[in-house]
Every structure is written in C-alpha cells, then in structure tokens.
Structure 1
Amino acid sequence: MSVSTSIGLALGFAIDRAFGDPRRWHPVAGFGSAALALERVTYRDARVAGVVHEVVAVGSVLALGRVVGRGGWPVVALATWTVLGGTSLARTGRRMADALESGDIAAARALLPALCGRDPEYLDADGLARAALESIAENTSDATVAPLFWGAVAGVPGLLGYRAVNTLDAMIGYRNARYLRFGWAAARVDDLANLVPARLAGALTVVLAPLLGGSAVGALAAWRRDAGAHPSPNAGVAEASAAGALGIRLGGPTRYEHGTELRPVLGSGRAPEVRDLRRAVLLSELVQLGAVLVAVAGAGVLSPRGGGAEPSAFRP
C-alpha cells in the first residue's frame, strides 16, 4: 500500500496546485465549527480540561481517518487536497505583492489577516511585506511540509490528524487570559507535531535557495545562529532559514491585537522590502515541491503499509 500512499500524496498535491483550497464546504472549517461546539462543553480554566478537549477532538479525527483510509489512493488524494494550503498561501502572497507594488496599501492591509493575526493598520508597505514574508515562511512548513510528512508516515490518519492538531492550536493555543491553561495542550501537541517537519522545511530551504539566487550558506548560518531565540521551536527554524536564504533580516517589534511583542532578529541582512515578497513566494513554492517529492519517495519507508489500510498503519 506504500505505492497507493505515494500516488495519493502526489495526486492530492497536484489538485491543490490546480485548484487551491476547496471554496465551499471546506472540511477544515467544518472541524473548526465542531471544535468550537465541543469547547462549549469541555472548557474549564485548567490544563486537564484542555487535555480532554485535545484528546476528544483529535482522537475523533484520527478514528475517522482510520475508517476512510481504507479507500486507497483516491481517499489519500482527497485527504491531501483537503489539508494542504500551500497554493492558497502562495496566491495570497502574490496578491499582497501586487497590491504593495501598485501602492495600494489599503488592499494590502485587507489581505494581511488571511496570512497572520497581526494588526495591519499600524504597518507601512515594508512592514506589511515583512509580516507577509514571515507568515509565508512559517506557513510553508505548517500548510504543506508538515501534512505531507505526516501523510507519508501514517497515510490518511496522519493527514487528517495533523490538520486537526494544527487547527486546534490556531484556535486555542494562545497565552491569553482565556486560553493560557486550557490551550496549553493544543500548543504543546502542535509543537511536537511540527518538530520534524519544520526542520525538513529548513533543510529544503538550505538546499533549494540557490535556485532563486539565494544563499544556502546564509540559510544554514541563520538557522543555526538565530532560530533558537524565537519563541516557537519550529517557526524560528522556518523563518530564520528563509531570512538567511533571501539575505534579509526578520523579527523586531510585532503588533498583534493583544499588544506588541519584540521578536528576536533572524538573519543578518538588510530589512525586508516589498520586492523581497515575490522571492519569498517563489522560495515557498520550491520548498513545497521539494516536500512532496520527499514525501512521495519516503512513503514506502515511513509508512510501509501506508494509507491506513492496515491496522499497523494507524499511529495515533
């Protein structure tokens, strides 16, 4: 069944490249609605309640993936398309670049919430470009590399389970008054789920940087020197390696709705400019392509019985 998994991953990636995210009835949005309804029942201001919420929500998705995964490569392809977000990420990045290059700051500010949770009203053109660039670097790993990795490891349960973990982190993995304790489990599980994929994304960035005139040496140096200073053990790898590859400097004051955070400096180049955004999108697309090639080639090794078709392929 490893061949079935490989075929499904490749086909699902191709469908995402052709069509992007499903425009209606997106299963991830459906999961988000279900998780919100579950939260109304499970919420308590305690870590234990958050653990229960995570186990029920993610466990249900893993069980579903176990059942539907018996459908072979067509189901793997559909699940892959469902969980990938790389094409929509690149398209949004290009639209942001178009708006900034034409001087339409209002349009660029309107696009930013589709990429990240920062407050766009306080950002100029270069600030918007930096925010978009950092988000593209991080989400290249989260939206493409990680789901493909887990699809290769565990077939359909891996694909759906990863997306459930990542979605819950985006919903409740915050250090604010409501979610500091309840969202703790969601944030920690997401960190663990992305530990290997983020480093795969970093490695692909190093290897592929020269294809767009970037620096493999700079990407590796920034990763090794700066990634550990980032508050996220995984986003730091993706952002630092991208900064080094593009010869720019990321980080600094970062304004969110809850306030301003001072992010560590990643990379040793100049401050990012609008023109760097298109290069970041191209780098993202190269990393995405590299990730699917690695996943397809590695499916037979990482998931020898693939796709959830056999009991041993299910790895919760």
Structure 2
Amino acid sequence: MELVVAGALSFCLDLLLGDPGWIPHPVVWMGRAISGLEERLRRIFPKTTRGEWAAGALLAILLPAGTLALTFSVLWLAGQIHPGLRFFLEVFWGWQALAVRGLGKESSRVYRALREGTLEQAQQAVARIVGRDTQRLDRAGVTRAAVETVAENFSDGVAAPLFYFFLGGAPLALCYKAINTMDSMVGYRNERYLYFGRWAARLDDGANWLPARLSALLLVAAAWLLGEDGRGAWRIWRRDRRNHASPNAAQTEAAMAGALGVQLAGPAWYFGIRVEKPTIGEHQRPIVPEDILRSNRLLYGGSVLCLGVLIGLRCALVLGGGIG
C-alpha cells in the first residue's frame, strides 16, 4: 500500500504546487542527455539512412534504460540509508512526473492573453505548450491549439505517468517521461529526424497505447459528471479516435471535441511546412476562448477520476495478490 500513498501524495503535491521553477526537473536533464547523445551518435554512425536508423535505435534504448536503472539504483541506496528517505524520493519524483497544474496554468495563460492581450501575445503564450508554428494562427487557431494540447497532454502529462507510477513506482514513471521527452525532441517526420527519430516515435506510441485509451474514457466520464456533453464525447470518440497519424493523439482529442461540441485538428504548420491533417469533431459552433477553461475543468475532473481508478486497481492487486 506504500505505493498507493506515495502516488496520492505526489498527485496532491502537483495540484497544490505545480512545477516550481527553482526545483531542478528531471525532464530538463533528460533533454540535455538527448541532445548530447544525439550529437555523439550522429558523429559515430554513418550519415546514411541505415546509419541514422541505427543511431536513433541506440538512443531509444540508452535513455529509457539509463533513466530506469539510475532511478531504481538511487531509490535502492536511499532505502539502505532509511526507508523514509526512499519514500520521500518516491513521492518527490512522482510529483515531478505529473503536470496537472502546470498544464492548467499554461493553458489559462493563453486564455488570458486572448481575452486581455493582443493576438501576438496569445501566439507567444500558446507557443510555450505546442510544437507547431504559432505565428500563422488566428484567434480561433490559438484557442484550438490550446484545447488540443490540454486534451493530448491529459494523457501524456497526467494519466500515463500516473499509470506507470502505480505499476512500477517512480522508476517506471520517469522511464515513461524519458520516452515521452525523447519523442517530443526527435520524433518528427521531417528531413532531420525521419530515420533518426523513428524508434523514439514508435516507442512513445507503444508506451502511450493503453494510457491514451484510458484517458479518453476518463474524459468521457468527466464530461458526464461535469455537465458537458458526455453523449457527444462518447460518440465523437468512437467515430474520430483514429483521425490522426499517431495511433494515440486523436483518442483524447476526439473525446474533448465531442464534450465541448467543437471541431479540432485540421491542417497545421510545422517548421514552415503545411501539414494536412483530418479534422476531429463537428463544427457545431465556432470555438471561443472560454473553451480553454472548459477543457481545463475536464482536465482536472479526468485527473481526479484517473487517480481514483488507479488507486482502486492497485488496491485490488494488493488485496488479491499480496503485492506492495
């Protein structure tokens, strides 16, 4: 039951404190490791399709495996010193693996810029949380990008880390964050990363397959409970959950689009190139900045539901199989 208590405390800390900038974050170190490894691996392997593919495969092995081994070793050493120190680190790293408050805070920043600032300020605010070219977005495009990010990152930044934490503690949760960070840095289908980033992208797809589907169902449930269109969330999820090049991204976006009664996705610009993507949801009405706040309500509601479901499953495993 120790892991249940640690997970609940990590979640509460994230809700209360978010991600204080003065505390070193593992994702920052992961990003530096990815950049350093990429530079070295590109020098070692030949600059051919096969060479880039092999270099990317080695990166996809080294970073998650290294993160898992390092985190597990530190926790083991802490446990040898004192069980309380190990528990503290478990809670601390679990907290750092989550991004509920941070995601809500950043998306709310976009909302305030849309309501009180200029379009340029709104574009700059949304650029902090999306990977697309934001200077081409109008006000509706900025709003749509923010809502899509809340939906997708409910899985990547909340449900998936919680899922892996309750499965294997902080080592597995941070291993997942390493995979997700690697994908966000090199998992692009452009000239530079088409082959080098292929393994990172596939590994992220595999790691997110189950959490993404769990997240979508949780958003549907949250829509029912919070007075949004739960029926629409269920219907659009079932219809549009595959409307994306990624096998996972449209899962939560479809549920969110149906719950809010808006249309998401569609063509977008990345690194100066227009990428044609199918739409998700139905254009029942124009999207408005207040939809960002509604998406945040679903984010928080779905997050609490996720914690409850995973605690219930973990307790059932403990009581049924005698695991800790």
TM-score relative to the length of structure 1:
0.91
Name the structure, 1 or 2, with higher relative contact order (CA <8 Å, separation 6+). Answer: 1
Alignment counterpart, residue 145 of structure 1, candidates 132, 154, 159: 159
Count of residue correspondences: 304
Matched, 1:175 2:199: no
Matched, 1:58 2:73: no
Question: What amino acid does structure 2 have at the position aligned with 1:51?
Answer: A
| 1:9 alignment partner in structure 2 | 7
User: Map of 1:97-112 to 2, 5 A cutoff?
Assistant: 97-112=111-126
In the alignment, the residues of structure 1 paired with residue 225 and residue 120 of structure 2 have an alpha-carbon distance, to the nearest angstrom, of 33
The answer (yes or no) to whether the contact 2:160–2:211 under 8 Å persists in 1 is yes
In the alignment, the residues of structure 1 paired with residue 228 and residue 196 of structure 2 have an alpha-carbon distance, to the nearest angstrom, of 42
Q: How far apart are residue 103 of structure 1 and its match?
A: 4.3
| 1:87/1:181 CA distance change after superposition, 3 Å | same
Question: What amino acid does structure 2 have at the position aligned with 1:127?
Answer: G
| 1:300/1:193 CA distance change after superposition, 3 Å | same
In the alignment, the residues of structure 1 paired with residue 317 and residue 269 of structure 2 have an alpha-carbon distance, to the nearest angstrom, of 40
Moved more, 169-178 or 208-217: 208-217
| 1:299 alignment partner in structure 2 | 314
| 1:272/1:81 CA distance change after superposition, 3 Å | same
Alignment counterpart, residue 223 of structure 2, candidates 200, 204, 209: 209
User: Map of 1:125-204 to 2, 5 A cutoff?
Assistant: 125-204=139-218
Question: What amino acid does structure 2 have at the position aligned with 1:10?
Answer: A
Matched, 1:257 2:271: yes
Q: How far apart are residue 277 of structure 1 and its match?
A: 1.2
Name structure 2 gaps, 5 residues minimum. Answer: 46-50, 80-85
In the alignment, the residues of structure 2 paired with residue 284 and residue 267 of structure 1 have an alpha-carbon distance, to the nearest angstrom, of 18
Q: What SS does structure 2 have at the residue aligned with 1:121?
A: coil
The answer (yes or no) to whether the contact 1:144–1:288 under 8 Å persists in 2 is yes
In the alignment, the residues of structure 1 paired with residue 230 and residue 296 of structure 2 have an alpha-carbon distance, to the nearest angstrom, of 17
Matched, 1:283 2:298: yes
Q: How far apart are residue 301 of structure 1 and its match?
A: 4.7
- Root-mean-square deviation (CA, aligned residues, Å) is 1.7
| 1:115 alignment partner in structure 2 | 129
Q: What SS does structure 2 have at the residue aligned with 1:122?
A: coil
The answer (yes or no) to whether the contact 2:107–2:126 under 8 Å persists in 1 is no
In the alignment, the residues of structure 2 paired with residue 68 and residue 8 of structure 1 have an alpha-carbon distance, to the nearest angstrom, of 17
Question: Identical aligned pairs, as a percentage?
Answer: 38
Question: What amino acid does structure 2 have at the position aligned with 1:40?
Answer: E
Moved more, 255-264 or 66-75: 66-75
Q: How far apart are residue 229 of structure 1 and its match?
A: 2.0
In the alignment, the residues of structure 1 paired with residue 145 and residue 186 of structure 2 have an alpha-carbon distance, to the nearest angstrom, of 21
Moved more, 181-190 or 152-161: 152-161
In the alignment, the residues of structure 1 paired with residue 161 and residue 63 of structure 2 have an alpha-carbon distance, to the nearest angstrom, of 18
Moved more, 102-111 or 201-210: 102-111
In the alignment, the residues of structure 2 paired with residue 301 and residue 40 of structure 1 have an alpha-carbon distance, to the nearest angstrom, of 46
In the alignment, the residues of structure 2 paired with residue 80 and residue 231 of structure 1 have an alpha-carbon distance, to the nearest angstrom, of 30
Q: What SS does structure 2 have at the residue aligned with 1:263?
A: coil
Alignment counterpart, residue 272 of structure 1, candidates 282, 287, 297: 287
The answer (yes or no) to whether the contact 1:100–1:274 under 8 Å persists in 2 is yes
Q: How far apart are residue 298 of structure 1 and its match?
A: 2.2
Name structure 1 gaps, 5 residues minimum. Answer: 307-316
In the alignment, the residues of structure 2 paired with residue 294 and residue 84 of structure 1 have an alpha-carbon distance, to the nearest angstrom, of 16
The answer (yes or no) to whether the contact 2:221–2:302 under 8 Å persists in 1 is no
| 1:219 alignment partner in structure 2 | 233
The answer (yes or no) to whether the contact 2:133–2:272 under 8 Å persists in 1 is no
| 1:31 alignment partner in structure 2 | 30
| 1:235 alignment partner in structure 2 | 249
Question: What amino acid does structure 2 have at the position aligned with 1:37?
Answer: G
Q: What SS does structure 1 have at the residue aligned with 2:275?
A: strand
| Deviations 1:245-284 (CA, angstroms, capped at 9, x unpaired) | 1111112221222411122111123342222111011111
| 1:73/1:293 CA distance change after superposition, 3 Å | farther
The answer (yes or no) to whether the contact 2:132–2:270 under 8 Å persists in 1 is yes
Q: How far apart are residue 152 of structure 1 and its match?
A: 0.9
